[in-house]
């Protein structure tokens, strides 16, 4: 789970002016639980919201959280995007709204919803629901229009104050906010730039001509690499005269921004323009490899790199360092302009297809390397590219392309691990409804994954529907892989719903495993081996169960895999407890909890903690058992799930609770449950592992970090690159990269900026 202080990013450029607006919005937020900053794109809504959020973050005990919605186009995913940002995972049958309300109802936090306009109806409905049942949650939204929710305070964000061009030129340089912003951004382009008597009037004219719009002013300041302020003003005057004679129906400031971006476009070379258009297909950000794939093979050697550098220099692209890799992104307004140009050129569809191909390749490589030492790295990579993956899925489904099925299937383990089976089912259902040209195996893999996720969430009806689809498909083909997928699905769904006959489930799994192994589907092979072992447990054949679990442990240890290994450790620990080996059980369960901490996976941590409670209760440590049970229930509820995926184990929970209430007394036992339920993920893990140290520190964010990792996080906060960190700590560059990757995984973060913000918050007095 993420740090409880929030995820506000560090400011990459200075915040200029707006003192009055900052104070006004702070006052509105103190008196209203929903404040919406409205205005056109480029007026500075997001920067103002982030500045206010940073200033008030100490007022919220559970932190301030930024939810970026600029890349969200599907209203059905709004709840998932918010839940993911908060570190929540929905594995249960309840809706994502239930998960959010259950988590937020007792929390004291501020949620910043940025760029709501693309899903405004969904935002309106969800915020209205949450405001009714979450009394200590507040929202600060940015949108091009108000949400129109009861109790909302809407604040129209004005442009920056501009000079009065009617007064004497020498007096126009009075430090208005617009002039201050131009001077600040100009100094970043030309380090010795300053407002002088020679350029004061021109700068004032630029800011006035651009209506004080921050984005337009920043784009104009970027021109100082090749023009003087006077030349910029002259070009603006020429363009203003041309463009204000057209598009009369648009508001003046909207026209101003449009022609300012258009002017920036005109100043780009044809190669730069083409790159801008094609890169607008990306959602979120992208790296050089992705840019090369999407740009296409028609680029001359060095052309792409030169054009990328030029677009960064011209403030069309924003360059960011993310874990030793350079990534690029566009502001939403700039990206929209590029997309419209690509559509006008007839180039957008081809770019979208190349983007789809790149995303498919990414997911297939992740699948190929999932059962291996790079699993954690791939989890982080897929998390980072999720906006792009969603965009590619949307396009592929719209084209009825088989790649939609391939991508949803390739992402199956990612959806489950990151607590997004609901989203996985959403994409699978849409792909299955639109794609009819895939191979039999591809058509079978998608419902197999969808059925497993439905069973995981307790949706028995949908799981049964996927089985029906698989049966119908199996009747039309003799492909053994399709038959194995059907058998695997029948057996695993039966075990997860409690409806399976263990003997029959065992037969189904045994046959499926052989086919999975022969076809190289190692993830499915390990899934099936774990299910086969559990069916043996239910039949009382624990010796065979142990054989299957040890086979999984041997394969995963050899491969360096973590996710499925953690489930095998839990299963082996459970069997050891059943066989009267409490010491061995504790060791295996502790290893499972350590793996859960590494993967930041609350569900397997909850399952191991609950089973550990049964073990310690057998040693008459009933208070410790109560705390573990409370922590397990709380961790599982965070991901919207019951503590157990397999209902057959519920009897052990009931027996442990009954014995605990007898051994202590009901009031003392309930107190232990509440104590565990109040623990954070890190605190619960530390308690379960009986780790020494200050209890308060264990409950704080980042307790799982080693001393070296905390040192690295502090250096990240100071802006050091991985190479600089390696030199400072006298370690290899690769080791530094590994530390940063582990920090991100343990804290549930997806960017270097989040680590920096977290470390900076910890350093605050």
**Is 80 exceeded by the pLDDT of residue 645?**
no
The mean pLDDT of 386-402, rounded to a whole number, is 92
Q: What is the C-alpha separation between 591 and 605, in angstroms, rounded?
A: 10
Confidence of residue 174 (pLDDT cuts 50, 70, 90): low
Q: What is the pLDDT of residues 20-39, one digit of tens each?
A: 899 999 999 999 999 999 88
Non-local CB neighbours of 24 within 8 Å, separated by 6+ positions: 155
The mean pLDDT of 67-89, rounded to a whole number, is 88
Of 225 and 366, which is predicted with more confidence? 366
What is the percent of the chain with per-residue pLDDT over 90, rounded to a whole number? 33
On average, the pLDDT of the chain sits at: 84
Sign of CA dihedral 361, 363, 365, 367: negative
On whether the CB atoms of residues 656 and 625 are closer than 8 A, the answer is yes
Confidence of residue 765 (pLDDT cuts 50, 70, 90): very low
**Is 60 exceeded by the pLDDT of residue 3?**
no
pTM (2 decimals)?
A: 0.76
Q: What is the pLDDT of residues 439-467, one digit of tens each?
A: 888 888 888 899 888 887 778 888 888 88
Q: What is the pLDDT of residue 701?
A: 44
Q: What is the C-alpha separation between 730 and 708, in angstroms, rounded?
A: 12
Q: What is the pLDDT of residues 398-424, one digit of tens each?
A: 988 889 999 999 999 898 888 788 889
Confidence of residue 194 (pLDDT cuts 50, 70, 90): confident
Lookup result for tokens 């209760």: 617
**Is 50 exceeded by the pLDDT of residue 693?**
no
Of 563 and 697, which is predicted with more confidence? 563
Q: What is the pLDDT of residues 266-275, one digit of tens each?
A: 888 999 999 9
On whether the CB atoms of residues 187 and 218 are closer than 8 A, the answer is no
Long-range interactions of 431-437: CB distance < 8 A, separation 24+: 431/393, 431/396, 431/397, 431/404, 431/405, 432/405, 432/469, 434/397, 434/398, 434/400, 434/404, 435/397, 435/400, 435/401, 435/402, 435/404, 435/405, 436/400, 437/400, 437/402
- Kindly list the strands in the beta sheet with 318-322, ordered across the sheet, starting from the edge strand earlier in the chain: 285-287, 325-329, 318-322
Q: What is the pLDDT of residues 417-434, one digit of tens each?
A: 887 888 899 999 999 888
Closest CA to 319 of 279, 286, 296: 286
Confidence of residue 353 (pLDDT cuts 50, 70, 90): very high
Q: What is the C-alpha separation between 566 and 604, in angstroms, rounded?
A: 7
Coil, strand or helix: which one is 106? coil
Q: What is the pLDDT of residue 267?
A: 80
The mean pLDDT of 175-192, rounded to a whole number, is 88
User: HEC profile for 318-357?
Assistant: EEEEECCEEEEECCHHHHHHHHHHHHHHCCHHHHHHHHHH
The mean pLDDT of 587-591, rounded to a whole number, is 93
Non-local CB neighbours of 571 within 8 Å, separated by 6+ positions: 530, 533, 534, 537, 545, 549
- Segments in 136-228 forming alpha helices (H): 177-189, 200-209, 214-221
Closest CA to 114 of 139, 96, 133, 136: 139
**Is 50 exceeded by the pLDDT of residue 246?**
no
Lookup result for tokens 């046959």: 511
Q: Token pair for residue 71?
A: 């890349």
Q: What is the C-alpha separation between 222 and 58, in angstroms, rounded?
A: 36
């Amino acid at each position: 789970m993420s740090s409880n202080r929030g995820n506000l990013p560090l400011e990459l450029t200075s915040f200029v002016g707006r003192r009055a607006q900052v104070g006004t919005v702070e006052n509105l937020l103190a008196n209203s639980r929903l404040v919406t900053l409205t205005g056109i794109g480029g007026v500075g809504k997001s920067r103002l919201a982030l500045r206010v959020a940073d200033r008030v973050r100490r007022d919220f005990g559970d932190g301030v959280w930024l939810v970026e919605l600029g890349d969200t186009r599907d209203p059905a995913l709004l709840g998932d995007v918010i839940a993911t940002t908060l570190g929540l995972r929905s594995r249960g049958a309840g809706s994502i709204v239930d998960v959010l309300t259950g988590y937020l109802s007792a929390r004291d936090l501020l949620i910043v919803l940025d760029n709501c306009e693309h899903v405004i109806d969904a935002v309106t409905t969800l915020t209205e629901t949450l405001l009714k049942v979450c009394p200590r949650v507040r929202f600060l939204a940015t949108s091009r229009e108000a949400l129109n929710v009861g109790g909302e305070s809407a604040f129209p964000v004005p442009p920056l104050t501009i000079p009065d061009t009617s007064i004497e030129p020498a007096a126009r340089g009075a430090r208005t906010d617009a002039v201050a912003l131009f001077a600040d951004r100009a100094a970043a382009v030309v380090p010795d730039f300053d407002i002088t008597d020679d350029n004061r009037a021109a700068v004032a004219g630029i800011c006035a001509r651009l209506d004080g719009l921050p984005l337009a002013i920043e784009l104009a300041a970027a021109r100082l690499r090749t023009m003087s302020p006077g030349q910029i003003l002259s070009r603006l005057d020429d363009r203003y005269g041309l463009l204000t004679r057209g598009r009369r129906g648009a508001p003046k400031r909207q026209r101003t921004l449009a022609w300012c971006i258009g002017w920036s476009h005109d100043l780009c070379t044809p190669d730069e323009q083409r790159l801008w258009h094609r890169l607008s297909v990306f959602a979120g950000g992208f790296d050089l490899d992705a840019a090369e794939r999407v740009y296409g093979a028609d680029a001359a050697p060095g052309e792409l790199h030169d054009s990328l550098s030029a677009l960064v220099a011209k403030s069309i692209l924003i360059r960011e360092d993310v874990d030793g890799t350079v990534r690029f992104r566009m502001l939403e307004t700039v990206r929209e302009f590029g997309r419209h140009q690509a559509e006008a050129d007839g180039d957008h569809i081809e770019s979208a297809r190349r983007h789809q191909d790149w995303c498919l390749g990414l997911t297939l490589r992740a699948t190929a390397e999932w059962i291996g030492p790079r699993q954690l790295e791939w989890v982080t990579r897929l998390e980072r590219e999720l906006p792009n993956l969603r965009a590619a899925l949307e396009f592929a489904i719209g084209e009825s392309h088989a790649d939609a099925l391939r991508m949803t299937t390739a992402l199956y383990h990612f959806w489950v691990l990151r607590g997004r089976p609901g989203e996985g089912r959403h994409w699978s259902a849409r792909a299955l409804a639109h794609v009819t040209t895939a191979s039999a195996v591809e058509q079978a893999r998608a419902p197999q994954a969808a059925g497993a996720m439905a069973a995981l969430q307790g949706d028995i009806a949908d799981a049964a529907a996927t089985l029906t689809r698989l049966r119908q498909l199996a009747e039309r083909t003799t492909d053994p892989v399709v038959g194995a997928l059907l058998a695997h699905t029948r057996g695993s769904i039966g075990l997860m719903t409690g409806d399976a006959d263990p003997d029959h489930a065992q037969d189904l799994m045994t046959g499926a495993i052989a086919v999975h192994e022969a076809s190289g589907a190692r993830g499915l092979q390990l899934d099936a081996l774990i299910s086969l072992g559990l069916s043996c447990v239910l039949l009382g054949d624990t010796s065979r169960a142990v054989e299957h679990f040890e086979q999984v442990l041997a394969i995963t240890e050899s491969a360096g895999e973590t996710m499925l290994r953690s489930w095998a450790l839990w299963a082996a620990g459970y069997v050891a407890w059943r066989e009267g080996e409490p010491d061995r059980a504790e060791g295996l369960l502790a290893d499972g909890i350590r793996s859960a901490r590494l993967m930041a996976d609350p569900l397997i941590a909850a399952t191991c903690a609950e089973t550990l409670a049964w073990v310690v209760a057998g040693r008459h440590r009933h208070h410790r058992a109560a705390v573990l049970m409370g922590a397990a229930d709380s961790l599982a509820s965070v991901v919207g799930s019951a503590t157990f995926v397999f209902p057959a184990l519920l009897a052990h929970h009931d027996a442990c609770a009954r014995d605990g209430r007898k051994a202590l007394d009901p009031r003392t036992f309930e107190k232990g449950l509440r104590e565990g339920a109040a623990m954070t993920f890190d605190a619960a893990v530390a308690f379960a592992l009986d780790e020494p140290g200050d209890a308060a520190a264990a409950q704080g964010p980042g307790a799982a970090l080693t001393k070296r990792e905390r040192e690295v996080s502090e250096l990240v906060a100071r802006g050091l690159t991985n190479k600089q960190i390696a030199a400072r700590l006298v370690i290899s560059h690769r080791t530094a990269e590994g530390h940063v990757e582990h920090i991100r995984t343990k804290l549930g973060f997806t960017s270097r900026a989040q680590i920096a913000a977290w470390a900076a918050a910890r350093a605050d007095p």
